[in-house]
Chain A
Amino acid sequence: MATVTYDHVTKRFDTVVAVNDFNLEIPDKEFLVLVGPSGCGKSTALRLLAGLEEITEGDIYIGDRLVNHVPAKDRDIAMVFQSYALYPHMSVYDNMAFGLTLRKVPKEEIDRRVREAAQILGIEDLLKRKPRQLSGGQRQRVALGRAMVRDPAAFLLDEPLSNLDAKLRVQTRAELSKLHQRLGTTFIYVTHDQVEAMTMATRIAVMKDGLLQQVGAPQDLYDRPENVFVAGFIGSPAMNFFQARVKGQREEMHLDIDSFQVPVPASWLDDLLPYGGKEVIFGMRPENICDPECQPCSTEAAPVTAMVDVTEVMGSEIFLHLVADGKAFMARVDPRCRARPGQEIRVEFDMARMHVFDPETEEAIGSREKR
């Protein structure tokens, strides 16, 4: 059980900077999810912690111990790999026992721990099988079990669900959360899937191009993204972005998006005052755009007329692909809405939920509380 600390960690491969001045403190018992698009350095960050890659600069601590030069085997961590990485020539039992055998744990103790883990994971019947005789989901459990028996200071999981089919993935997500509660160990979980991050994490760290973008609780990241990247990455379908210009003074202030204009809510006036006459990036999540015919928005609704391009029926909701004067965006509306492709409809933007970003720095504008 331990805190994990990344202190100004940088990793370079020849000329590529995979992880750039990475700072993160992961308290004991946290379920931290490192999320980002592929190639963002999240796996490298995890492998640095595991001791599978050498750190170029900076320090990593597990608890109070500096582990920069500690080999992987002595770091007291366990890892679940994307391909599960089961030893193909060993039975499930031996796979789970291997790490303990190497540590010269007594036979009876090994047996006890393996059976306990197997029972928790529901794989007691598979102990004599070889990995190739198992289904994907079963292999995944064995990989988890192999990590569990070690009773490590931290669990590292590298995209462990990406080889499972969609249904099994949803099921395993919940089971992983349960396991985390039960074991009470630090989990560090890497994924490119923001849904996995949102559903399981106690905290999420978003990475892009080797740089840490934002760290926070899932809801916090969704409600208050600190830059354009995080805003677009968290949430599905992704947030709509519009190039806008701040026009007018005070009560007259509005955002001009060429094809349409939306008024700025009173609470935003102070924040946008310095941007008067300047360009900003205006963000609106699809779920905050609604069709007033069937489900009106909040009080601060701004009407926008658009053409329906495509509709995607999901059953519980409908995704509308809309076009307003050449600018495409998406709305996520109630299935009772009757919009048809080719129709012109009037939708409403929920301005209380708007996001504004500086086009230069791509950072969010406005005080945190507001967003």
Chain B
Amino acid sequence: MARRHPSTPDGSTVAAAPPLTLALGTARRLAGRLPLHLSLMALMVLWSIPTIALLVSSFRDPMAIASSGWWNAIREPFDLTANNYQTVLEKQGMARAFFNSVIITVPSTVLVILVAAWAAYAFAWMKFPTRNLLFLLMVALLVVPVQMTLIPVLRLYSDVTINAELPILGGRIFGTGSYMGMWVAHTAYGLPFAIYLLRNFFGSLPRDLFESAYLDGASDLRVFFRIVLPLSMPAISALAIFQFLWVWNDLLVALIFLGGEPDLAPMTVKVTNLVSSFGTNYQVLTAAAFISMALPLVIFFALQRYFVQGILAGSVKG
């Protein structure tokens, strides 16, 4: 029986293994994995082509788009132009729409986090009668189709609409055709998911932390702002990304509550209108669509990790 000692230099000894069997084994393994790689690659290509097609076409000359497939652009890579973007941004009002999307999305995202974190703290760390029942109801609300709520809420809005114009931003102050109406609506629709996600995260924080803070004499408010919020940044970032994308990509709520006010329309509404009026004018549509995708894509690539976390944390989103 051969023995090796730690200090003998033959740690690097190469045992005499027949190289042929080794090579055969490797080859066999590779051949076995070929179908795996091929099918995966095929799916990756299939899934990427539509987005790439859009991106390439949005930089092509209108004449070229109409007369030859986007895949021909590879042959004449210097014919690409940013004219489509200029047209869309200037003549079709996409710049204003982009601005509207930001105005609608940012406050809706902040509001939903505040209100939901507030409620989730109570659900997670306060005892009160009907707590579980109330939370179950919240889970149930996750699956209510938004469409269903539109008519009644629209009726309510028409009763409370304040017709005066909102300074600086434009639109009415509240009700249909107002930014504020959009903020409140998006916040409300985002709440069930947000509360569900945050409550689960808050609930997973160690109990000792709260108890020691209470013993130190901290109030609920203090615990909430100094302990819960800072510790929950992963969940809150995930939620923020989600809510941001959800509001940014929303069409239905904007279509209904903005009441066709063209000055307030976010990009989704704008692009939809372009589709119905420009049908197959792909130089306009592709550029417009890509502008509306740009920010979500940036967020997606920059914050992919949180994005995935958010999905995993609450994959019941309705």
Contact = CB atoms under 8 A, between A and B. Distances in A.
Given A23-B1, A24-B1, A69-B25, A229 B6 contact: yes
Interface residues of B, number: 19
Given A54-B25, A57-B17, A69-B25, A213 B6 contact: yes
A212 B13 CA distance: 14
B43 interface: no
B13 A213 contact: no
A209 B15 CA distance: 17
A17 B4 contact: no
Contacts of B17: 8, 10, 56-59
Given A10-B15, A17-B11, A58-B17, A25 B5 contact: no
Interface string B1-39: 111111110110111110001100100010000000000
B192 to A, nearest CB: 30
B1 A360 contact: no
Given A54-B25, A69-B25, A227 B16 contact: no
B273 to A, nearest CB: 52
B26 to A, nearest CB: 9
Contacts of A56: 17
Nearest to A360: B7
Nearest to A20: B11
Given A68-B21, A362-B6, A21 B13 contact: yes
Majority-rule SS of B interface residues: loop
B15 A9 contact: yes
A57 B8 CA distance: 20
Interface string A1-43: 0000000111000000100110111000000000000000000
Contacts of B7: 360-363
Nearest to A227: B5
A57 B14 contact: yes
Contacts of A17: 11
A202 to B, nearest CB: 15
A20 B12 CA distance: 8
A163 B195 CA distance: 37
Contacts, number: 65
Interface residues of A, number: 31
B4 A213 contact: yes
Contacts of A287: none
Interface in A229-276: 229
A59 B29 CA distance: 18
A59 B1 CA distance: 15
Given A21-B10, A54-B25, A68-B21, A8 B15 contact: yes
A215 B3 contact: yes
A208 B25 contact: no
B15 A57 contact: yes
27 contacts: A8-B15, A10-B14, A20-B4, A20-B13, A21-B2, A21-B10, A54-B25, A54-B29, A57-B14, A58-B15, A68-B21, A208-B6, A209-B11, A210-B11, A211-B6, A212-B4, A213-B3, A213-B4, A213-B5, A214-B3, A215-B1, A226-B3, A226-B5, A227-B5, A362-B5, A363-B5, A363-B7
Q: List 10 tightest A-B contacts by C-beta distance, closest first.
A: A8-B15, A57-B17, A211-B4, A23-B2, A57-B15, A58-B15, A361-B7, A21-B13, A21-B15, A362-B7
Interface of B: 1-8, 10-11, 13-17, 21-22, 25, 29
Interface of A: 8-10, 17, 20-21, 23-25, 54, 56-59, 68-69, 208-215, 226-227, 229, 360-363
